[in-house]
Structure 1
Amino acid sequence: MQVANEEQAEYWGSSPSGAKWLTYEEQMDELLEPVLDLVFERASLQPGMRVLDIGCGTGASSVRAAQIVGSTGHVLAADLAQPFLNRAEQRASEHGLDNIDFQYADVQTYPFPEADRDAMISRFGVMFFEDPVAAFANMSRALKPGGLMTFAAWGPLSGNPWFKTPHIAACARLGNPPPMDRNAPGPLAFHDQDRVSGLLADAGLTEIVVDQVPTHLHICSTLEDCAKLCTRIGPAARLITLFEGDDQDVLAIQQAVAEAFRPFATENTVEIPALINLFQARRPETG
């Protein structure tokens, strides 16, 4: 299989950073469940539908979709990280689901069956393409005419303390990383609603709708545990790796994050405000 996104395949498939998502799967699924709820509320999947799940990760979205579409429907779950797919397949088996297939695929180039799917969904799985127009066009070809895409991406950094606060804490301790293109492939690449709407239009999609939705990420744990997670996954973790931070650096960053997140914490829960971009678009009925 041709892989256009080799850097992303390496990052998610075999790097220590990608492996951390397996280690902290339960915490991350809990944290991001409100975002998955938003995707499913908008997608309005129904029994019998055939669904394409892009960037399925360890399978939370795929399992929920398969449960909704039922035995008369089907989910094709694609990801660029084989370890994630292995875990997702295990989760599907644990739930007794046989209406899911898992596919290792670079979505930018993978030859999905033409006009085979009623809907596409994704929770944070579409911001990593080297050529997003090519990727969206390829996904669109997999949809039946009139088929609907629904996907979530992170909104602006200013509205997402989960990213901004650990980044500030890590920079204060370790220094600033080299400047980078804010639209480059990565978690925040789709923060600009107008830009992404233009990408979807360039890919031939129509009826494009985008909403910026405030929500809260939640962790049913202590403030300290939440801060620790921020130094294992996310921007602080990347800076710690980049600057080869030691245990004292990690502890200092955790303490700074915990203090900044204190207003969001109760005794056993941390509720972190978030701003999510929700996009929907259709494959044209004709053409």
Structure 2
Amino acid sequence: MNDAAGLDTRTWIDHWDRLGPGWEKWADRMAQQAEGLNRPLIEAAGVQPGEHVLDLASGTGEPALSLAAAVGPSGRVVATDPAPNMLAGLRRRADAAGHGHVEAHLADMQALPFENDSFDRVTCRFGIMFVPDAARAFAEVRRVLRPGGQAAFLVWGPQADNAVLGTVVDWGMRHFGIAEAARYRAPFGYGTPGRLAAAMTQGGLLAAEERELRFTPEVDAGLPFWRPPMGITFGPEVEALDEAGAAAADAALKAAFEPFRDGAAYRLPMHVRIGVARA
């Protein structure tokens, strides 16, 4: 069971649909950063040119667009998300990139609308943590994977190990008076080592294992790097701020990140985990 327990599927879909415009607003500007996480996920899944790949909780296109490059025009990427506003951004970005072999489907990973043994690989980047019934989702992954096919799931490590998202979540919940902690703590639900692999096994996937990835990106101290994660995590609330409110938010977040400053740069620890398993 994960930290999404107690929140029904409809509540989660509505939540993410509400955030969709904010994700699309920042998606192109965050593409380079996203690629740094997409690459190890795609490698862990073992994606090869010409394969058929299912991407779950694709949001506005990560890692579906990177998968499209990996499989090439002879392959196929089926990108899914249960939130219509997320898929709208994905379709726009796929069209702009000329990825005609990317299909966008409205779908809940707990009940996939695909036949058995349909895909060579399944990927999911920062999505499984938000599913109320993860065991059911993993069972669906096993069902749609071809025998011997491989799945890879990328999740956040513990909140304390992730400077940017952890700090933004804490600030936003305080600033906007958000009491529904489960929605905003859920990203870290599989942060405990071994928890993701155990859930994959419970869902019927085979030979599940986890890999730990740690980074410490350096960011110029003069850049308001917190704006994209603030915008995608608390989009409607941020958009409602007037000029004075936006300036106050910038000042508060700049102060919150001061412990990570080292001279002319911020050093921002990041910890993610990749779960890999087979059908």
TM range (shorter): 0.7 to 0.9
Give 1:115 shift. Answer: 0.4
C-alpha separation in 2, matches of 1:92 and 1:165:
31
The residue type equivalent to 2:13 in the other structure is A
SS of the residue 1:136 aligns to? helix
Give 1:164 shift. Answer: 2.3
Indicate how the Cα distance of structure 1 residues 185 and 118 shifts in structure 2: closer, same or farther if over 3 A, else same: farther
SS of the residue 2:251 aligns to? helix
Equivalent residue, structure 2, for 1:76:
78
CA contact (8 A) 2:23 2:231 kept: no
SS of the residue 1:146 aligns to? strand
Give 1:132 shift. Answer: 0.4
> Which runs of 5 or more residues in structure 1 are unaligned?
none
Give 1:218 shift. Answer: 7.1
C-alpha separation in 2, matches of 1:256 and 1:71:
46
Equivalent residue, structure 2, for 1:93:
95
Give 1:143 shift. Answer: 0.3
SS of the residue 1:258 aligns to? helix
Equivalent residue, structure 2, for 1:227:
226
The residue type equivalent to 2:83 in the other structure is A
Give 1:166 shift. Answer: 2.6
Give 1:127 shift. Answer: 1.6
C-alpha separation in 1, matches of 2:54 and 2:25:
26
C-alpha separation in 2, matches of 1:44 and 1:60:
17
Equivalent residue, structure 1, for 2:277:
281
Equivalent residue, structure 2, for 1:10:
14
Cα-Cα RMSD: 3.1
> Which runs of 5 or more residues in structure 2 are unaligned?
1-7
Equivalent residue, structure 2, for 1:124:
126
Indicate how the Cα distance of structure 1 residues 70 and 30 shifts in structure 2: closer, same or farther if over 3 A, else same: closer
Is 1:261 aligned to 2:257, yes or no? yes
SS of the residue 1:193 aligns to? coil
SS of the residue 1:118 aligns to? strand
SS of the residue 2:113 aligns to? coil
Give 1:232 shift. Answer: 2.5
CA contact (8 A) 1:214 1:274 kept: yes
SS of the residue 1:103 aligns to? strand
The alignment-based identity, stated in percent, is 26
SS of the residue 1:186 aligns to? helix
Equivalent residue, structure 1, for 2:3:
none
Equivalent residue, structure 2, for 1:37:
39
Map Cα deviations across residues 199-239 of structure 1 (whole Å, 9 max, x no partner): 111111111110221024577x77453233344333xx38x
Is 1:109 aligned to 2:111, yes or no? yes
Equivalent residue, structure 2, for 1:153:
155
C-alpha separation in 1, matches of 2:114 and 2:193:
27
Give 1:152 shift. Answer: 0.7
SS of the residue 2:104 aligns to? strand
Indicate how the Cα distance of structure 1 residues 107 and 172 shifts in structure 2: closer, same or farther if over 3 A, else same: closer
Indicate how the Cα distance of structure 1 residues 49 and 261 shifts in structure 2: closer, same or farther if over 3 A, else same: same
Equivalent residue, structure 1, for 2:213:
213
SS of the residue 2:194 aligns to? helix
CA contact (8 A) 1:218 1:272 kept: yes
SS of the residue 2:269 aligns to? strand
Equivalent residue, structure 2, for 1:22:
24
Alignment TM-score, normalising by the size of structure 2 = 0.83
Give 1:254 shift. Answer: 2.3
CA contact (8 A) 1:162 1:272 kept: yes
Equivalent residue, structure 1, for 2:199:
199
The residue type equivalent to 1:52 in the other structure is L
SS of the residue 1:127 aligns to? helix
Is 1:140 aligned to 2:142, yes or no? yes
Alignment TM-score, normalising by the size of structure 1 = 0.80
C-alpha separation in 1, matches of 2:182 and 2:62:
30
Is 1:56 aligned to 2:58, yes or no? yes
The count of aligned residue pairs is 270
